[in-house]
Structure 1
């Protein structure tokens, strides 16, 4: 494993805090998590974040994860662009700009456990509760969702389930959901990367790893999109609800451990 990873990464300059074996693992996982997101619509971003958190410095976690997710979601949005709902993207984008600006001006650590608990219950409600139709849903709610999700991504990174919960109630089918979700997340991560750059984060030492992870992530997108096109609608809906619920329960467990400590 060590020999293969050293050979594979010999052309890349890695940060001192990251071993070649860890970088090789992240490059491989980027493919798998991108395929998961392309096939089920979400879940890969949080899975990747959890693995990255175990092998790299926490201070670099959110900005580096943001760049990888920007590349992954951009590829997915381009591959599936014909299914994009541009109205949803427009309103989500308007809120995201304000959310990034607010988040970038708050340089403090927010309470982790209460926010995770709130996110978890919001996700569960959005997945299982009866929701209004798109033609009756106020357009400002999409902008508000973009604002909140983009604000939170500045501190927690993977807010894909929050965006997915909002979009899933107002799109007609899985192809529209995956394409629109990817486009919304692309814009959100783009804003996040810009803000972290303005705050002074040094992306240059991570360039080689980021390029490799974005490349394998795009290959994963192609593989996951192939699975998506072959997946029956009923199976997709069950898989989507299962993934969302498990992610929410995991957030509740993490928050509960903090409260019980």
Structure 2
């Protein structure tokens, strides 16, 4: 996944042309809904090459519109496995993506100092959320987790579709 993350972040930094605002959001929302409710992804999509491509595409898209969570989660959901493993894999992918994007945006001139108080608050909120999430994760079964995961992703996708539609309509 990590080499794909690096490729996606570099690709997003390189892109000069942008689709109309809202198109990417709607596309991502539809992809997430498809991976939640449609047929399973083919086995080769979950291979080393498929994972590399997923890392590149999800990082590229999230660098443009910031929707990495639902994209990566919908891919990880397809991999199966135990709930703790899924959450740990998802967390590792998010750290890799965000650190890589921070590096790329820093190289492109983004000034993190101006946002430092917000960044510190977000890290603190992430730590609290992790503690609460682990308590919840220990109490829920794999079967219930999978259902809740699917519905949470679907709600995030619907919100993204709403934002994308509103953006297209307003322009």
TM-score (norm. length: structure 2): 0.88
Structure with max Cα Rg: 1
Q: Equivalent of 2:117, from 199, 208, 218?
A: 208
Partner of 2:146: 237
Q: Are 2:44 and 1:158 aligned?
A: no
1:191 Cα offset (Å): 0.7
1:134 Cα offset (Å): 5.2
Encode CA deviations 1:117-173: one digit per residue, 9 max, x unaligned. Answer: 111111111111231575884321111111111111212123111111111111312
The alpha-carbon distance between structure 1 residues 153 and 125, as it changes in their structure 2 partners (threshold 3 A), is same
The alpha-carbon distance between structure 1 residues 143 and 225, as it changes in their structure 2 partners (threshold 3 A), is same
Encode CA deviations 1:210-253: one digit per residue, 9 max, x unaligned. Answer: 22331232122112111111112232122111111112222222
Where do residues 92-103 of structure 1 align in structure 2 (5 Å cutoff)? 92-103=1-12
Aligned residues: 170
Encode CA deviations 1:58-109: one digit per residue, 9 max, x unaligned. Answer: xxxxxxxxxxxxxxxxxxxxxxxxxxxxxxxxxx111111111111122554
- In the alignment, the residues of structure 2 paired with residue 247 and residue 137 of structure 1 have an alpha-carbon distance, to the nearest angstrom, of 23
Where do residues 32-71 of structure 1 align in structure 2 (5 Å cutoff)? none
- In the alignment, the residues of structure 1 paired with residue 128 and residue 165 of structure 2 have an alpha-carbon distance, to the nearest angstrom, of 37
SS of residue in 2 equivalent to 1:172: coil
Contact 2:4/2:54 (<8 A) preserved: yes
Structure 1 residue ranges (4+ consecutive) displaced by more than 3 angstroms after TM superposition: 107-110, 132-138, 258-261
Q: Which moved more, 1:147-156 or 1:228-237?
A: 228-237
Partner of 2:33: 124
Unaligned runs of 5+ in 1: 1-91
- In the alignment, the residues of structure 1 paired with residue 162 and residue 63 of structure 2 have an alpha-carbon distance, to the nearest angstrom, of 22
Q: Equivalent of 1:115, from 20, 24, 32?
A: 24
- In the alignment, the residues of structure 2 paired with residue 253 and residue 208 of structure 1 have an alpha-carbon distance, to the nearest angstrom, of 30
Contact 2:29/2:157 (<8 A) preserved: yes
Unaligned runs of 5+ in 2: none
Supply the RMSD in Å over aligned alpha carbons.
2.1
Partner of 1:87: none
TM-score (norm. length: structure 1): 0.60
Contact 2:9/2:104 (<8 A) preserved: yes
